[in-house]
Every structure is written in C-alpha cells, then in structure tokens.
Amino acid sequence: MAYLERTSETMGHGVVAARSVREIADTPQARTQRHGQHHVVFYEGDAAERIYELQDGIVMLYKLLPDGRRQVVEILTRGMIFGTAGGPRYDVSAETLTPVRLAVHERREVDASAVLQSHVAKCLMAQMEGLHEHAMLLGRKSAMERVASYFMRMVPNRGGEGCAGPVSEACDPHDLVLNMTRQEIADYLGLTIETVSRVISELKRRGVIRLERQDRIHVTRVCGLCQLTGIH
Amino acid sequence: MAYLERTSETMGHGVVAARSVREIADTPQARTQRHGQHHVVFYEGDAAERIYELQDGIVMLYKLLPDGRRQVVEILTRGMIFGTAGGPRYDVSAETLTPVRLAVHERREVDASAVLQSHVAKCLMAQMEGLHEHAMLLGRKSAMERVASYFMRMVPNRGGEGCAGPVSEACDPHDLVLNMTRQEIADYLGLTIETVSRVISELKRRGVIRLERQDRIHVTRVCGLCQLTGIH
DNA sequence: CGACATTTTGACCTAATTCAAGCATCGTGG
DNA sequence: CCACGATGCTTGAATTAGGTCAAAATGTCG
C-alpha cells in the first residue's frame, strides 16, 4: 500500500522536490514512471503485464474501431488506476493528456499482494461510477447536455444532485483548463468536432462561458451551466 | 423470495429505500437471496450496504434522469458482481430480468476480508472491459451496429476480433432468448423502442434472423450478423 | 373471446453529421 | 520581429439517421 498511497509530500499540486529521480529505486514494489504529454503508455491489444496508478497528471483511455472511429472511454485524474484487464491483453489504449507521474506495478505483484488488490478494488469501485455516468451521457443526453456535463466535471464540488440552490454561492464564476483538443473532447462525448464547436459557441452566445483561450474557459454562470447538464 | 418482494417495488424511482430483507439471518458469511423476475434489488440513491454476486439469472443496472430518460448501463450474468459503490450510496438501480439467485455480502464484511476484496477486484477488472465496450457502442455505433452487437453478445464464442473466417463453423445458425422487452433493449442501446423494432425488422428482411417469438430469435447467419457489429 | 399491453409500421420532423470553406493560433525560420 | 505554413477551430449549407407522433397489428392472458 505504501507505494500506491500518495505520500504527503506529493499531495500538493505538482510541487516535486528536486529529487531528479526517474526511478526511485529498484524496489521490488512499485516504481515510478514519468511521461510527457501525448505519450502512449500502452496500446489496446498489448499484453496486460502492468497496472498503473496515476500519481499526477491526466490520462485518457480509448478504444478504436477498425474504420478509425474512436471512443474515449475514461478520463483519469490523480489517484485513479488503469491497466487492469480481465484477460491477457489491454482492452483500451492509454495516452497522457498532460505530463504524468505513474506508479507502476507488475501484474504478478498485484496478483500476489492482498494489499494491492484491496486498493485496486477500492479504486475500481469508484471509477465504475464514472463509467456509469458516462454511459448515461452517451446514451441519453443531447449535445448541449454532454458539453455542459463535461465542463461541470471540472468544476470542484460540481452539483452532483445536491446542486439545489440556483442562486447560492455555487453560482460564482469559475475558470477551467481543458487539456484536450476539440477532437479529443468530441471522441469523449460521442460527438463530432463540429458539434462540440457549435455548442461551445452557443454557450458563449448565451453568456454562460467565455473563452480566455482555446483551452481556457471562464464559466461566467456555473449554475446556469449546471442547469444545462440534464441532471435537474 | 416470496417475502417482502413487494416492498421495494413501491414504485417511485429511487426515492424511498424500502428494503427490509436485512433480517433474513446474521450469517457472518454470505447468505443467499432468491428473487423473481422484475424485482428491484436496490434503487439508485439507497445506502450502499451490500455487495451482491449473481449466482444465477440476469440483472440489469440502470440510471434515470429526473425527466424519466433511462440508461441501462450494465447487464449482468452469472458470476458478475454488483452493488459496489465508491461513496455511501448506490449510483444505479438493480433490477432482475429473470429469476435470480444472489450471494449477498455486507459491505463491512467485504471491507474486512482480503479474500472477498481480491475476488471483487478480479470481477471488476473483467466487468470494466464490458463497460468500455458499451461506451464504444453508445458513443460511436449506428443503430444497426448496436443491435447486431447486442445479439452477438448472446452468441457463445462470439467473434471478438478473432471472428476471422467468414464461412467457417462459426457460421452455423444459433438460437437466442432475449429476456428483455424492446423498451429495455432500447434503454440499453441508447435508442428508442421504434428504432430497435425497425432494425430488427430490417434484419429479418435481410434474412439474417428470424423471430420464433417476440423474445426468441433464430440467427440464420451468425457471421452475417457479426459483420454488422462494426468490429470488422 | 375480448380487453390490454407490447410491438410494428408509417409519415413527418429535427438534432446532429457531413462536406466545404473560412479563421484563428502557434511554432518556425528567415 | 514578422511572414509563413501548419494545425486546429469555427461557421455555413445540405443531408440524414434516428426521433416523435400516430395508427395498426400482433401477442397475451383472464
């Protein structure tokens, strides 16, 4: 557990003390990997020999159809796990969206360690809820609801059910950074790039958001955005 | 099974958790529950106090939006686990599609047992792949591809990638039972009931399937159906 | 048999896609 | 520092897959 658990010094936002360690040591336990943006950690179909915990940064998991259609199935943030597999091969590809720091465990290590498995179970239980939510989004929400939900994901204390008060403190503006291209967003939301763009423009038009830059969004009215997610 | 089955069927989606099955026994280990068809094991929003393993039968997990839109997020078969939660409440409702036999574990039992957690981890890793596959279906496949994929799920040794040979032994016909109404299928596939019906009619017209009954399908050409799933 | 529920079919409509330009934005090298 | 491609983003017009609404048909069961 010690190695999967985030140590207090790393809890802060990407502080990183000088320790220019690429691999802390050859601990039989976890080792740490670092990767830059747009690095593919593994491909769908690769032998599933390692399990990863994301210590810092963002990773996306996606699947491809032979004709090139892509679906981003999960977006992972700090503390989440990936690389788990039911069979001998990965069912998705994993690609970094930002520079990342990963804790890496050999599959057999995990198979042999009750502590690790316990941790994996806990993480997967939580992550599964995200997948359920995403299935609802993909199967039943309109383009506007999908984009609004996507933005709300990135607002801390996002109005999950208990967003109640429409004019309360939750209504103050909020800034967020996308870390994804329009194409990646589209592939995550099950839309085309054009539709994503159009919906964003519509949100600007309605005064709900403002674009500081392509990938930096100022949410003028968080509650207004939340109202558009379909969960109210 | 007979007792109290009514209780939780008090309608009102998710609102009140009227379960009172908890007093069956105080077995520290797993106990077994049986339920008939269309029984709701728990509602979205209920306190997540138990984890279930499906020993026999079929269960579906679904989420609802406040306006009534429903998305079936997972269909569970023998050996699969449900009722896991990241937080204190279930994020989905669980309803039986057939009579079922369930192994029930108190949440705290699981929290205290390395063996159980190990088992849960294993199951969730496998089930997660199903959710990924489903996200691909919901986000990127056409109505025809969705229905074809849905039917293929129920063909044993379904052509997952290695379906290669188009005229091989895999091409022989196959019978399957749906266990779901058109509405349930539609809610699983992210379509309307009319679209599901139309696609099924189209498959009949093309001679790929034949309806023995509403819920019994004879797949005349398994390979033909497989070709329509989008994975080739 | 007859009443109800589910499924199918038809006609029409709309949200989202597709195709095709135009625009920003950004990094590079002159 | 600015011109220049390159890349990614936005916008418009036309198309379409799937949804909606409204019967009709089929199945189910007392």
Q: What is the mean pLDDT of residues B42-48?
A: 97
* Residue ranges, CATH 1.10.10.10, chain B: 141-227
Write out chain A residues lying below 8 Å of B136, CB-based: 63, 65, 71, 73
For residue A30, pLDDT over 80 is answered with no
Q: Is the pLDDT of residue B28 over 90?
A: no
Q: Is B198 exposed, middle or buried (0-12, 13-18, 19+ CB in 10 A)?
A: middle
Closest residue by C-alpha to C1' distance, nucleotide D7 = A181
**Considering only alpha carbons, which residue of chain A is nearest residue B127?**
A86
Q: Which fold has domain A143-227?
A: Arc Repressor Mutant, subunit A (1.10.10)
**Cβ neighbours of A190 in B, within 8 Å:** 138-140
CB-based contact B159:B152 (threshold 8 Å): yes
Nearest CB to A231: which of B65, B133, B134?
A: B65
Chain A contact residues (CB < 8 Å to B)? 61, 63, 65-67, 69-71, 73-74, 84-87, 91-92, 114, 117-118, 120-121, 124-129, 131-136, 138-141, 187, 189-190, 230-232
Question: What's the pLDDT score for residue A209?
Answer: 95
Domain with CATH 2.60.120.10 in chain A: 11-140
One-letter amino acid of B128 = M
Closest CA to B175 of B144, B220, B205, B214: B220
In the prediction, which pLDDT does B112 show? 95
- pLDDT at res. A211: 93
DSSP state of B62: E
For the domain made up of A11-140, give the CATH fold.
Jelly Rolls (2.60.120)
Average pLDDT for A159-184:
74
Q: Bridge-partner residues for A89, per DSSP?
A: A47
Q: Is A132 in contact with B87 (Cβ distance < 8 A)? A: no
pLDDT digit string, tens, across residues B196-214: 999 999 999 999 999 999 9
3 state SS of A190: coil
**Superfamily name with CATH number, domain B7-138:** Jelly Rolls (2.60.120.10)
Q: What is the mean pLDDT of chain A?
A: 86
For chain B, give every residue range classified as CATH 2.60.120.10: 7-138
Identify the pLDDT of residue B26. 39
Q: Which residue has the higher pLDDT, A60 or A17?
A: A60
Question: What is the CATH code for B141-227?
Answer: 1.10.10.10
pLDDT tens-digit series, residues B107-161 = 999 999 999 999 999 999 999 999 999 999 999 999 999 999 999 999 987 665 5
Residue B65 has pLDDT above 70, yes or no: yes
Interface test with A, best of B69, B109, B140 (most A CBs within 10 A): B140
Residues of B in contact with A231 (CB under 8 A): 65-66
